Structure 1
Amino acid sequence: MRKLQPAHGGADPGAVYQGRQEKDDNLKLALAVGERLQNSGLDVYYTRTEDIYQTPYQKAMAANESGADFLVSLHRNSSEYPNQYTGVETLIYDKNGEKAEIAEDINEELENIGFRNNGVKIRPGLVILRRSKMPAVLVESGFINSEEDNRLFDEEFDRIADAIADAILKNFSLTGEEETEQEETYYRVQTGAYRNRENAVRQQEKLTEEGYPAFLLEREGYYLVQVGAFRKLENAVRMEAHLRENGYQTYITT
């Protein structure tokens, strides 16, 4: 299971350049990468699929609670002056384990598209890297205040999404359940993960009373409350938005 975290959102636009907001680029890229991973048979969780704000700590905790085995945080870089710097870089907590290899692969794949490769950097002070329990990488996909990087981001967007997905897939083989799900993927909206079954049942019953097609799953010691089973991601996104409007904490899974 992989977790995709599009950085910023809501009242926090991230870096801004000539009206372009980092949060929008991050979300667009996260959904594109996630769709490619899901089409390859991997389970994917998103910290957000719409324009909402979460603190880095909240995002790390959401990743931990989901049981994901890898976290990819998507950003765009910025500098003090326009067109001062260009290129991609990937940040990690330390150079131990598979995260360092995936970070190197992501940079190399993006370099092949035309980005300058600024390397893998160690950033142990970043909350999303420090507080997540699973290996994590933070990808800076070009400078948002670089005309050249923006041109690449827009013109080569599909190749960028393919590159990041390919770098992740290189390090994960499909086995068991993931191979089965590869044949047909359904998107679902999760509203809760509980150790206590009674708490999960209460939320499921509340959702059902409100007219939502809610159901209960048991996985790895947790009772998961989920809504719907959609063949198209955009339908799941609409359901998630409706649930959030009604006060539920949600994310999309498969």
Structure 2
Amino acid sequence: MSSEKATALVLRVVDFSESSSVVTLFTREFGKISGLAKGAKRPKGAFDSALDLLCTCRVVFLRKSSEALDLLTEAKLIRRFRLCDKNLSRLYAGYYVAELLLELTDEYDAHPELFDNAERTLLRLGSGPSVGTAIAQFEMAALQILGHHPSLEQCADCGSEIRPHGRIPFAQTAGGVLCPRCRPRHSQVVQVSTAVIEVLKQLANADNEALDTVKIERRSGGELRGVLNHYMTQLLGRPPRMQRYLVAPTSNHDDAGKDAANEP
């Protein structure tokens, strides 16, 4: 077993015994890992409350060569994300970030850019003006980094250029927009406005600092949220658990000001 050090985001914590936990982390250096943290629930020790959900910490762990759990030996808190200070929508959005990282990534498949984007997204959720827009940007970034990005400018079937006008066929199963010739060959097709397609393009190319320049009309926010919901559901084979609590993206509005109508 080799000792490794990494910067990690806590995605999940499950009780293992009276004093120990099994922790799933998304690390910048190694990708997703799962490890046994012995004594993690003791008030004082090598973990010192650093393994709470959505915390960023510096961890030391022993990497197992087999399918057994890694062994976490130390964790030092870097940052605790306080997402519930204002309302539940921000907290649910943070849980959604963790859920996507759990579901979309593989063990020991490092994506430093995705780690950095997730960390910036959580920071924005704590203080930024638009929760829905921050989450939509994270989704598009994750899809692009992990190779699942929907085709928005060329037909997902034949590759021909799509000229934006009116409403454009978008097929979840095909992975993006369709030209009129390919449209009849596909099922589960929705007609998406050109405004939403343009916003998706902007989100795919925007970092968190540029989100304030992305303009989303209020009537387009719900449609955009619906497109992303269906795309993620198709990709994962089921709806993400936290998806139903997400708010629609808007421009220059604190869309988290309206708590999710349905709380878990």
TM-score (norm: length of structure 1): 0.28
TM-score (norm: length of structure 2): 0.27
Q: Which has the higher contact order (CA 8 A, sep 6+)?
A: 1
Larger of the two Rg values belongs to structure: 2
